[in-house]
Structure 1
């Protein structure tokens, strides 16, 4: 064990030693200074890994700048020991990866290892036959009318029973709320009801601490740090010795999985005691379809909670921020809400095309999953000519893609819902979507998000329900600009403090 430790320590310090020699040698050479370049220098053995490591906290923004400066919208970064990482914001490359050559670009062993302790063999962490099987079962369930009806009921119950009353109390008491936290709690309650048939009641008036929710947050946050580690060996060493963040991760994952397994056992017993399926949550459906393995069922459900927990809440957090900066957009949404009042809930949100466009425009600028990496199974060449070697990391970059002038025009930095809309002869807005390889926020190809319709339903119901009653006002100083940060999904650093004001003009 000690030998292993010292070997690992040597490997950790070797590149830094080499880098010091290189920089010392370069300083001794008296040459004219070269103009600064946005692209990082690459050195023998260590490549550009030190530059990459120096951008751990703003890597998404930094790689976006690189891609914006690249004529092909693709960059290749040299890493330790000759490894290379490719980032692309080129739609032709994205289609090549996610559809045309789908089988060659997989999650891969690195991602699987990083997330295995948390996600196990769940659908978002596997490839091959295991993924195909889970995808087939999940796809069938997501396409049933009864599940869609159940989701609609769950969302409306949480909205009208908890979120609206909380906003009403905050407006009366002039309380400042962290909207990001509130929306995360809202989404967590929803996804647990939909996935498990279990209500954690995170959005209860007292905003209680829930062990399962807190453990899930810890597991998500610490797992994401593994991706940003300078050496993968560093977190593996900490895990081996059960110290630091890896000890916290082990405790958090144990709590999440023990709780999930308890619910799986109870659900199996419930189904065994009944002659027919009465529950319509996903877990009940999976178990009824023959998935009797406890660990497998747990893996699937944890993956779905991860997918539904932070994605919609992240999109809505940024949506309300952008709305506060663009009052003319808010007016258009209010007109649309007013025109839909009185219709059945599903019809109301289905026809909210302007709101739909606003949500797409929000996710263009602030995608819930800003970068998605794959691993090449075999050698390949991307459509733009970039050479890919077997085992190389290739990532498409939705955050950068939403900021490419070649895709969105010179006004790409503007929040402009109209770029998603066209008016017909009667002056009515019609939604005009972009292809999923230009706007891969919900992925594309065989792995396209199964919950896309569910996500839009939930987000539009929140927008309609909240804006019909309230105005959301940022409780920040003039000139405040929120910082986009990334865990496994994106967040607003430090939360989003807001005041809630009752609206009187839409009654």
Structure 2
């Protein structure tokens, strides 16, 4: 019996390999080389099923050893898939974004959380009826409508208003939480503190409401389940058997979306102070579509910025010299508020921008990204791709590639972002999106880039000026958790001490 099962399994693998062979990526008249570490028959399947940080570390090793070479990532359970690491190829992908779209493979795994759905109550149970796609899944006119609303919402004037009006009271609350832990000699999880801060901040500016703790937990759980679909070829079966908690989490997220949209549609917006919902309702007539579009922004608006700040504080805790240089840069620009809190008078200081960018380089908010070809095309390095090919790049791995970032690519070094004049004045020098794909690039570049940088640097400056953090567990490296974004597994537990 066991022999029959094994032979059947191998037959299925062989059929899948033969089926996809004609669609395989090619270069110089031959099938593209497989990425190092591929196993016979199953290819990269075993690596895809292991914890994500192990896959990321493996891809970083491959790119460090092989330079900018493009490889096939083989698996009988996946469409033809390639890994790119050359910024020239990535620039082509960004520029030709209509060719490299979020195709069936991506959308089929993301639709529950980021697709458009209508919640219907049937015999007391929730049923989701899929209608379309949120901005992370969308294309065409629907994508343009959502993007225009987001661009207006995240204008320079609005980001400045959010930073000056909405954020400071939330930062004061954060200082009080840290002060309580300091007073009793306790510990506190900085990642939780920052996620809570950004949940309130983004909820207020985007939805005019503070998301509940239950909603935040539900969104995090749904995000983790959704992420696992990209690595588990048997996800449909697994969720059918064990996905009750996912279905409950999705229902909570959908109900929140409909609740806030109903509230927004029933009140008049204030000109010049519109929420994200107000702007979406102006452009999209269907409230169900707006509800899902609005919750789609939560992952980009809340998770990524909070996680970027967490990783920044972690990198600073491991680099006393960098922390000292940052303090030296911030202190001349600090003023004291009525509560005794130090606050910087300039949120665009070069060194803190460099430290934040460097932490994001090493710990990108989305460490692994994929697209799907909609037509035959040829990459700048000569790789020929057929329609339906999955194109993968790993910002996490590219950040550690000596071919992209020189021999010290793995070091936390904010100075790589700075240019100094003869008087020693530092100017922040951005890198191209194809070298630093943290915020994507091309026409689909992240519209929240400016807000993430302004808010991230503002909160980091407050924390660094006012607090010294002793990381409780200093042993070993921190790893990325299982999610669509890049949370720190286990959080960042510290003992805060007020800085004198």
Matched, 1:262 2:259: yes
Aligned residues of 1:156 and 1:461 also touching (Cα < 8 A): no
SS at 1:374's partner residue? Answer: strand
**Residue of structure 2 in register with 1:111 after alignment:** 106
Paired residue for 1:320? Answer: 313
Q: Deviations over 1:24-45 (max 9, x none)?
A: xxxxxxxxxxxxx98134545x
Q: Deviations over 1:64-83 (max 9, x none)?
A: 22222224332211221783
Equivalent residues, number: 457
Q: 1:297 aligns with which of 277, 284, 290?
A: 290
Q: Could you say what secondary structure the match of 1:79 adopts?
A: coil
The Cα shift of 1:480 comes to 3.1
Determine the structure 2 residue equivalent to 1:244. Answer: 242
CA spacing shift, 1:184–1:293, aligned 2, 3 Å: same
Cα deviation 1:331-355 (Å, max 9, x = unaligned): 1111222121249999834431100
Residue 310 of structure 1 aligns to a residue whose secondary structure is helix
**Aligned pairs (5 A) from 1:319-338:** 319-338=312-331
Q: Distance in 1 between matches of 2:184 and 2:39?
A: 57
Which residue matches 1:285?
279
Structure 1 alignment gaps of length 5 or more: 1-9, 21-36, 203-209
More displaced 10-residue stretch of structure 1: 70-79 or 331-340: 70-79
Displacement, 1:140?
Answer: 2.8
Partner residue of 1:415? 412
Q: Higher mean Cα deviation, 417-426 or 437-446?
A: 417-426
Contact residue 108 and residue 127 of structure 1 kept, 8 A: no
* Corresponding residue for residue 389 of structure 2: 392
Distance 1:147 1:282, change over 3 A: farther
Q: Decide whether aligned partners of structure 1 residues 12 and 144 sit closer, same or farther in structure 2, where only a CA change above 3 A counts.
A: farther
Distance in 1 separating the partners of 2:284 and 2:7:
47
Q: In 2, distance between residues paired with 1:377 and 1:501? A: 54
Spell out the pairing of 1:15-414 with structure 2 (5 A cutoff).
15=9, 39-41=36-38, 43-44=40-41, 46-54=42-50, 58-80=54-76, 83-99=79-95, 101-120=96-115, 121-143=133-155, 145-146=157-158, 148-160=160-172, 162-200=173-211, 210-229=213-232, 231=233, 234-239=234-239, 241=240, 243-245=241-243, 247-271=244-268, 277=271, 279-287=273-281, 289-342=282-335, 348-414=345-411
How far, CA to CA, are the matches of 1:59 and 1:485 in structure 2? Answer: 12
Deviation at 1:278, TM superposition (A): 7.6
TM-score (norm 2): 0.85
Displacement of 1:12: 12
Deviations 1:2-24 (A, max 9, x none): xxxxxxxx99994467679xxxx
Q: 1:105 to 1:217 in 2, by over 3 A?
A: same
Distance 2:68 2:413 in 1: 26
- Alpha-carbon distance in structure 1 between the residues aligned to 2:286 and 2:394: 36
Measured in 1, the distance between the counterparts of 2:7 and 2:294 equals 40
Q: CA deviation at 1:362?
A: 0.5
Aligned residue for 1:316, secondary structure, equals: helix
Matched residues in 2 for 1:163 and 1:51: separation?
40
Closer/same/farther in 2, CA of residues 315 and 416 from structure 1, 3 Å limit: same
Distance 1:469 1:451 in 2: 27
Question: C-alpha distance in 1, partners of 2:6/2:104?
Answer: 21
Q: Which runs of 5+ in 2 are unaligned?
A: 15-33, 116-132
Alpha-carbon separation, structure 1, partners of 2:440 and 2:35:
29
Q: Secondary structure at the match of 2:345?
A: helix
Give the Cα separation in 2 of the matches to 1:442 and 1:499: 32
Give the C-alpha shift of residue 431 in structure 1: 0.8
- The alpha-carbon distance between structure 1 residues 332 and 48, as it changes in their structure 2 partners (threshold 3 A), is closer
Give distance in 2, aligned partners of 1:301 and 1:422. 39
- Structure-2 separation of matches of 1:174 and 1:343: 25
Hey, what does 2:426 align to over in structure 1?
Answer: 429
Structure with the higher helix share, 1 or 2? 1
CA RMSD of aligned residues (A): 2.7
CA contact (8 A) 1:150 1:280 kept: no
Residues of 2 paired with 1:430 and 1:56: CA distance?
36
Divergent runs of 4+, >6 A: 10-13, 17-20, 343-347
Cα distance, 1:270–1:279 mapped onto 2, change above 3 Å: farther
Find the aligned partners of 2:248 and 2:148 in 1 and give their Cα distance. Answer: 33
The counterpart of 1:464, out of the listed 461, 465, 468, is 461
- CA-CA distance at 1:60 after TM superposition: 1.5
